Each structure stands twice: as structure tokens, then as C-alpha cells.
Copies of this chain bind each other. A is one copy, B any other.
Amino acid sequence: MTDQTGQAILEPTGGSRAGNRALSVMDQIREAVLNGSVAAGKRLNEVRLSRTLAVSRTPVRAALQALAGEGLLDYAPNRGFTVREFPLDAIVDAYEIRASLEGVAARFAAERGLSPDEKATIERSLGAGDRLLERGSFEAGDLTIYREINGDFHDTLLAAARNRMLAEMIRICHHVPVSSSRNIVAFEHRDVRRRHDDHHRIYEAVIAREPWRAEMLMREHVSSVKASLVKFLTERSRDNETDAAAAGPLPG
């Protein structure tokens, strides 16, 4: 068992969050888990992690406990923490859950109304998307840009829902390893255009204060992303003949 793989990716950098090594360590471990550099099911060794990250075991333990709370790790008494397994089923289900939750968020936003700032941000996002899609085809980097635009739209609407529990749950859905949106870039222009149209309609429903229509549209919107993902994953697993359980990270 040469299990020194993976954990070498983690580097003893000071980390971004000053004044709290536990949080910094937490970010680094989460990053390593999300981008797949530590394999699912793998046991995370405290002392090795602390050596690798050049801190003591205490902040490492704190980080592991917090990440278990986020649902990224499993904990078993006297056996420590392991990277949680996310079979393909669970990943697809996570989209379904997210669709439902973001639907509620859209409904809340439509009920509660948007602040001027939020309106401005969303309208900027919609305009930027329109301009990006005008050309009819994508150039290099365009998908990365659209991902940002897409994130602004969803984040702002979620903020307008004004509910912390909802925000945290949706965040958890986003933090599913492998399926994490940043790993998915291989979408076609037509798909993106249709989703951007969805954004327009959702925003109209929110502005028109039509909560249930907003919810329904948002649900359908996220569900369609799920459908694209499934299509992408099945095609990919047909191409390279690895196992279909979505073990490895997707191509960036």
C-alpha cells in the first residue's frame, strides 16, 4: 500500500487566512479533496498531515472535524477521518436536491424582493452573458468567463432569499467532489445559451413577484444542468474505459 500519494499535493504554505491556522489548514484540505488529489475513501492521517502542512496536530484535527461537519469527510471513533465517497448516484441526486433548494431560494427572493444592489448585479450578469453569447460560438476562456457570470447570478439570487440555512445547504451541494462546477467546463454553446435564457426568465419572474413561477423555473433550470452533467459523464466514461463510478477528477 503506497498510500503516500496525494497528500504530497498539500504544501506547507502559510495559507491565506491569517491568524488562524485551523481555517487555513481547512481550506487546504478541502481544496485537496475537492480537486480529487486525495482519493475517496482514503484515510486522512493526522500526524502526516501535520508534518506536510508544518503545523501541529491540533489545528489539523480542528480542520478535519469542521470538514466532517461540511459533509466532505466521514468520522469514525478511534479510526479518524476518511474522504467521503460520492458514487455517481449521489452526485446526480445532489443536483436534484440543489434544484429543489434553489427553487425555494428563488421563491423566497421573489417574495422578499431584491435590493437595488442585487438588481444591479443580476442585470449586469444578464447583460454580460448576452454579449458573450452574441457571437454564436465560444473562444478559449469564454466558458470560464461564463462560469463567473453564472455564479454571480445564482449567488445574488440566493443572497436575496435572505436565509442562512438555505445558503449553507446549497453551498454543501456545490461542494460535492468531482461534480464541483469548476470541474465541469465541457458544455456546448447551445446549452449555455438555453441556460442563459433561463436566467432571464427566472429574473423576470422574481421581479414580477411571482414566487411559484420563479421556483418552478429555477428547479427546471438546475435540473437541466443535471441532465447535461449526466450526458457529459456517461459520454466520458464511454470514451476512456475506466470504471464508471466517477473515481478520478474531470479534465480541467
A104 to B101, CA, bound (A): 10
Rounded to whole Å, the gap between the CB of A21 and the closest CB of chain B is 10
A66 to B19, CA, bound (A): 21
Question: Cβ of A93 < 8 Å from any Cβ of B?
Answer: yes
Stretch of A47-55, A127-135, A161-169 lying at the B interface: A161-169
Known interface pairs A93-B108, A169-B169. Does A19 touch B68 (Cβ–Cβ under 8 Å)? no
Report whether A77 and B165 are in contact in the complex, using a CB–CB cutoff of 8 Å: no
Question: Cβ of A23 < 8 Å from any Cβ of B?
Answer: yes
Q: How many residues of A contact B (CB 8 A)?
A: 31
Report whether A71 and B165 are in contact in the complex, using a CB–CB cutoff of 8 Å: yes
Residues of B near A173 (CB, < 8 A) are: 165
Which of B20, B68, B97, B172 touches A104 (beta carbons < 8 Å)?
A: B97
Report whether A165 and B93 are in contact in the complex, using a CB–CB cutoff of 8 Å: yes
Report whether B71 and A70 are in contact in the complex, using a CB–CB cutoff of 8 Å: no
Residues of B near A90 (CB, < 8 A) are: 163-165
Which of B68, B93, B104 touches A166 (beta carbons < 8 Å)?
A: B93
A47 to B187, CA, bound (A): 53
A163 to B62, CA, bound (A): 27
Chain A contact residues, majority secondary structure: helix
Rounded to whole Å, the gap between the CB of A189 and the closest CB of chain B is 31
Residues of B near A19 (CB, < 8 A) are: 77-78
Residues of B near A62 (CB, < 8 A) are: 61, 65
Which of B103, B163, B172 touches A165 (beta carbons < 8 Å)?
A: B172
A68 to B164, CA, bound (A): 13
Apart from A68-B69, A97-B101, A169-B169: 20 A-B pairs, beta carbons within 8 A? A19-B77, A19-B78, A65-B69, A66-B68, A66-B69, A69-B69, A71-B168, A90-B164, A93-B163, A93-B165, A93-B166, A94-B165, A96-B104, A97-B163, A97-B165, A97-B169, A100-B104, A101-B101, A165-B172, A165-B173
**Which residues of A are in contact with B by a Cβ distance under 8 Å?**
19-20, 23, 61-62, 65-66, 68-71, 77-78, 90, 93-94, 96-97, 100-101, 103-104, 108, 163-166, 168-169, 172-173
